[in-house]
Amino acid sequence: MLRDLGLAWRRLRKSPGFASAAVGALALGVGVSTAVFSIVDGVLLKPLPFPEPERLVMMTREGDVSIPDGKDWRPAAPSFESMALFLRSWTLDLTGDGEPVRVAASVVEPEYFRVLTAAPQLGRPLRDEDDQPGAPHVAVLSHAFWQRRFGGDRGVLGRSLTLSDEPATIVGVMGPDFDFFGDDVDLWMAPAAATPFFVHERGSNNFDAIGRLKAGVPLARAQAEMMAVSRALEAQYPRSNRGKLVVPIAATEFLTGSVRPVLLALLAAVLVVVVVSGANLASLLLARSAARRDEFAVRLALGAGRRRLLNQILAEGLVLALLGGGLGLFCAWASLDALLALAPADLPRQDAVVLDARVFAFGASASLLLGLVFSLVPALQVIGSDPGLFLKGAGKGVRPAEHRALGLIVVAEVALAFVLLAGGGVLLQSFRELSGVALGFEPRGTLGGELSLPRSRYGEDREKQTRTIAALVDEARALPGVTAAAYAIAAPLDRRGGLGGTVLFQTPPPARPVPQTGARVRLLHGDYFGLMQTKIVAGRNFTPDDRAGSEPVAIVNERFARTYWGTQSPLGARVAYRDFHDGTPFSMTIVGVVEDVRGITLGAPDFRTIFTPYEQRRVNWQAWGNVLVRTEGDPSQLRRALQEAVWRVDPQLPLARTYTMAGRVEEHSARERFSALLVLLFAGVGLVVAVQGVYAVLAFLLEERRRELGVRLALGARASDLARLVAGQGALLAATGVVLGFPLAVLSAWAMTEVLYGVAWTDPGSYAGAAVLLFAIALTASAIPAWRAARLDPVRALRLD
């Protein structure tokens, strides 16, 4: 076999054109598929980095969970070995030690560490006594934060941090894998320390819950138990728990469920590319074996065993697989970072995406499979044929079976390229629709920053809070280049979209019966609508006269107005609003209606929303909000200046993060962009392979038909007749491919319906565009063989006699 490999290597070196085309085809297929497989594997297939991850279960229900609910679940759910509530991200200000920064805390019940079965890298995890009322505050640091803030200093244990003006002691540091939600958690604290006000609030549904099933207990049993306890709680606490039914699902599914369809579609696309490039390899090998038919025939006639010939062909396939696979793996390695850079930031588990042994094994087996399986196609032809036929047929006539095989391969390639192109087109269209959606606000030129007035220093002091916010907005407004500034609790495209609660109608709305009464309240200071360029469609904007003590007013969004007042005007109507925190309703008069904005996602309109002036707010604990400025220049240049403006008002107040609205809009379409780009990338690859295939087959057929074309010339054919004959073959291949690919393309676009926005899976433009592009490309690929046919020298062609 080794000798065969050596021979194969020498033979390949003698035909560098064929060898590089074949290696290129293989490398393309292996490279692209390996790169994408590494992503799919890291995100979807790899188990979570905890012992027995299949026993980990997330509780899902409409809205999150409150701590009292969670405490009631435990005794009712014996299927679970352990269960813990956790708040994925809660922000605290870290002060006193360098620049004040906002840190992301994950608020977790100590049992969280037992559920995940993860030991800290340093020190200890949280313990049950840390979650007792009045217990000293302790924090466990994330590996990343420990590195970033403390340079990985092992002496941090026992150090004290000032977190939102309260001291907390560092007791442990977790390993790098622990933050598996990818939330960039800085530290973990117990609810009693970080969010004591949530501990007894059954309505404060802010927590997620994760559990570990007892060994061998089926998920279904846990589901039944959780259903029973949710029904019991619903009966006991109808106000807060109506319809709150809990469904435990596997943790991996919870984590990756949202990207699963997209990634699986990608994986399917990968398989398509593998098949396409394999087919191309086969067509090249077939063409080559046809060109070497005489050699094979002579060898067979000289008594060479079929086995030896077979070995030779397979050895060549193996050498090609090694070369192409190696090159492909290298390309995958080289392109992975670029690919991940395109990925949306919220693609879960990105850290798990690495070129490890699993991925390497995938790439290696893909190339071996490709190289060997597809070289079997021509090998079987050699084996199955009779040397006499070979010799008789040498250099003459057509072998229909072979041509049919080659034609089928190219048709399949074109069909698959069509599927990818059409699918990519539909996805791209969807992305463009999503990025072009009417937002209801102008993102360009807008910079925002999040801040939170700490209870320790601001407490319930409304006066001080109002003064600070007003001063902040004034400082921001005074920055050079800034044309407007405002403060808003919840800016657009933030999933933490303001306070939720129930609306009571003091002026009965015309809608009968009154539909759902849930709505969001968003507090504003300054000319927020002017800054966002959100149109006031009826009534008036807030003015500085709408202040504490004056008549409480509200502006509602169009969706709110339409839901309750239909086509009538809600202006002047009185509504009251009651949130879960404070039972007394708070009433106000509607003075304006604003257009709807894309408040939560780009794909859906905002909640029904009531805007009220910050100065007239009812609830005091809503300390979190956004400072917003509009500038004439590049808003991102203003980040530092905005933070410094805040520090001029309160030197200890950090801006948690600053963001441009334009950037936020982009983030919200990042996933769509990523999938469109990736599928189009595949389509490009498929296209290249299809072109290679069309070219290879036509060039091969041209060789085969040289004599025929010479005869045709002698019979009076014009050069253009011959060119048309060859190009026509290319067009026929393309047409057949498109026709066969069409139903597949429609089917796969239909399967993507769920991820499409603003474009139907039937989008005619995408299919037509793909077909036209393929035709153009197929004709281009035919150009060189067609030109060669037109230039054919009849004397030489006929001398092939």
Partner 1 sequence: MISLRNVEKSYDLGGGKVYVLRRISLDIKEGDFVSIMGPSGAGKSTLLHILGLHDSAWTGEFDFVGAPVHKLGRKERLDLQRKHVGFVFQSYHLLDDLTVYENIEVPLTYRDVKKSERQAIVADVLDRFQIVGKKDLYPNQLSGGQQQLVGIARALVASPKVILADEPTGNLHSDQGREIMELFKKLNDEGTTIVQVTHSETNASYGSRVIRLKDGWMA
d(CA 154, CA 316): 57
Span interacting with partner 1, options 515-523, 682-690, 716-724, 755-763, rule CB under 8 A: 716-724
Nearer to partner 1, 393 or 605 (CB): 393
Span interacting with partner 1, options 80-88, 433-441, 626-634, 791-799, rule CB under 8 A: 791-799
Span interacting with partner 1, options 262-270, 583-591, 641-649, 792-800, rule CB under 8 A: 792-800
CB of 789 to partner 1, least distance (A): 14
d(CA 131, CA 116): 18
CB of 285 to partner 1, least distance (A): 24
Binding of partner 1 by 714 (CB under 8 A): yes
CA count, 13 A, side-chain hemisphere, 776: 6
Among 201, 667, 721, 763, binds partner 1 (CB under 8 A): 721
CB of 681 to partner 1, least distance (A): 40
CB of 435 to partner 1, least distance (A): 53
Nearer to partner 1, 304 or 711 (CB): 711
What is the CA angle 644-647-652, rounded to 5?
140
Among 21, 274, 482, 717, binds partner 1 (CB under 8 A): 717
CB of 792 to partner 1, least distance (A): 11
Asked if residues 299 and 309 have their Cβ atoms less than 8 Å apart, the reply is: yes
Joined tokens for residue 680: 């189009």
**H-helix or E-strand spanning residue 102:** strand 101-108
513: how many CB neighbours lie within 10 A of its CB?
Answer: 4
Nearer to partner 1, 140 or 797 (CB): 797
Binding of partner 1 by 76 (CB under 8 A): no
Binding of partner 1 by 707 (CB under 8 A): yes
3-class DSSP state of 452: strand
CA 624 centroid distance within chain: 28
Phi, psi of 368 (to 5 degrees): -65, -45
Phi, psi of 103 (to 5 degrees): -110, 150
Nearer to partner 1, 239 or 392 (CB): 392
CB of 412 to partner 1, least distance (A): 23
CB of 411 to partner 1, least distance (A): 19
Nearer to partner 1, 293 or 522 (CB): 293
Nearer to partner 1, 332 or 797 (CB): 797
CB of 388 to partner 1, least distance (A): 15
326: how many CB neighbours lie within 10 A of its CB?
Answer: 17
d(CA 350, CA 347): 6
Binding of partner 1 by 708 (CB under 8 A): yes
Nearer to partner 1, 419 or 713 (CB): 713
CB of 395 to partner 1, least distance (A): 11
Nearer to partner 1, 137 or 403 (CB): 403
Span interacting with partner 1, options 125-133, 559-567, 693-701, 793-801, rule CB under 8 A: 793-801
CB of 420 to partner 1, least distance (A): 33
Nearer to partner 1, 302 or 715 (CB): 715
Listing DSSP states for 168-223 in one string gives EEEEEE--TTS-TT-----EEE-HHHH-GGGTT-TT---BEEEEEEPTT--HHHHH
Phi, psi of 331 (to 5 degrees): -60, -40
Q: b/e string for 413-450 if b means 16 or more Cβ within 10 A?
A: bbbbbbbbbbbbbbbbbbbbbbeebebbbebebbbbbb
Write down the residue that tokens 């069409």 correspond to.
742
Nearer to partner 1, 467 or 799 (CB): 799
Nearer to partner 1, 359 or 713 (CB): 713
CB of 731 to partner 1, least distance (A): 19
Instruction: Give the residue from 331, 312, 449 showing the smallest Cα distance to 375.
Output: 312
Span interacting with partner 1, options 603-611, 663-671, 714-722, 760-768, rule CB under 8 A: 714-722
Nearer to partner 1, 525 or 706 (CB): 706
Binding of partner 1 by 711 (CB under 8 A): yes
Q: What is the pattern of x (binds partner 1, CB under 8 A) and - over residues 658-697?
A: ----------------------------------------
Nearer to partner 1, 75 or 716 (CB): 716
Phi, psi of 56 (to 5 degrees): -80, 135
CB of 716 to partner 1, least distance (A): 4
CB of 795 to partner 1, least distance (A): 5
d(CA 267, CA 273): 10
Nearer to partner 1, 197 or 787 (CB): 787
Span interacting with partner 1, options 193-201, 286-294, 534-542, 715-723, rule CB under 8 A: 715-723
CB of 380 to partner 1, least distance (A): 24
Asked if residues 370 and 277 have their Cβ atoms less than 8 Å apart, the reply is: yes
CB of 275 to partner 1, least distance (A): 30
Among 373, 623, 719, 783, binds partner 1 (CB under 8 A): 719
Among 713, 723, 745, 778, binds partner 1 (CB under 8 A): 713
Instruction: Give the residue from 660, 523, 651 showing the smallest Cα distance to 93.
Output: 651
CB of 718 to partner 1, least distance (A): 7
> With left for phi above 0 and alpha for psi between -120 and 50, is residue 622 left, alpha or beta?
beta
Nearer to partner 1, 393 or 603 (CB): 393
Applying CB under 8 A, the site for partner 1 has a residue count of: 19
Phi, psi of 162 (to 5 degrees): -100, 105
Give the alpha-carbon dihedral of 130, 135, 136, 142, to 10 degrees: 20
CB of 401 to partner 1, least distance (A): 13
Binding of partner 1 by 712 (CB under 8 A): yes
Q: Which amino acid is at 745?
A: A
Binding of partner 1 by 795 (CB under 8 A): yes
Nearer to partner 1, 400 or 764 (CB): 400
Asked if residues 79 and 139 have their Cβ atoms less than 8 Å apart, the reply is: no
Among 341, 567, 715, 754, binds partner 1 (CB under 8 A): 715
Nearer to partner 1, 667 or 721 (CB): 721
Q: Which amino acid is at 292?
A: R
Q: Scanning residues 358 to 417, which ones bind partner 1 (CB under 8 A)?
A: 397-398, 400
Asked if residues 205 and 66 have their Cβ atoms less than 8 Å apart, the reply is: yes
Span interacting with partner 1, options 45-53, 199-207, 709-717, 777-785, rule CB under 8 A: 709-717
Joined tokens for residue 389: 């036929």
Give the alpha-carbon dihedral of 304, 309, 315, 321, to 10 degrees: 160
CB of 722 to partner 1, least distance (A): 10
Among 636, 718, 747, 787, binds partner 1 (CB under 8 A): 718
d(CA 526, CA 542): 8
Report in angstroms the alpha-carbon separations of 14 from 9, 283, 315, 320, 538.
9, 19, 15, 14, 80
Asked if residues 434 and 639 have their Cβ atoms less than 8 Å apart, the reply is: no
Nearer to partner 1, 338 or 715 (CB): 715
Joined tokens for residue 399: 């072998």
Asked if residues 164 and 93 have their Cβ atoms less than 8 Å apart, the reply is: yes
Instruction: Give the residue from 138, 141, 164, 137 showing the smallest Cα distance to 153.
Output: 141
Residues at the site binding partner 1, with contacts judged by CB under 8 A = 397-398, 400, 707-708, 711-719, 721, 794-795, 798, 801
